[in-house]
Amino acid sequence: MVPPTPGAAMAVSHLSPYMASDEIKLADAVLLFQETGHPISVDTLTRLCRKREVPLVRQGRPLYASWTRLLEVHRDWVASHS
């Protein structure tokens, strides 16, 4: 087995113990929600996540959250606007 090169980047170094396994950028989720015919803004989605205590993880500038939880938030938001 070859020892790791000092100072070399490893793929594992980018994993966060706080990330959900189905994590997605909120901005990417917004693009997918547009395709449903029920668009929502990043600001509204962020506000709803905080209200429902959905864990948000900031990696650099973008916010990430569980896609499963975002689907639930969006579903409930759409239902409340119908």
Q: What sign for the dihedral angle of Cα 50, 73, 39, 30? A: positive
What was the pLDDT predicted at 17? 55
Per-residue pLDDT reduced to its tens digit, 23-69: 999 999 999 999 999 999 999 999 999 999 999 999 888 999 999 99
What was the pLDDT predicted at 59? 83
Helix (H, G, I), strand (E, B) or coil at 49: helix
What was the pLDDT predicted at 13? 41
- For residue 6, pLDDT over 80 is answered with no
Helix (H, G, I), strand (E, B) or coil at 25: strand
Instruction: Give the whole-angstrom CA distance, residue 25 versus residue 62.
Output: 6
Residue identified by tokens 């029920």 is 38
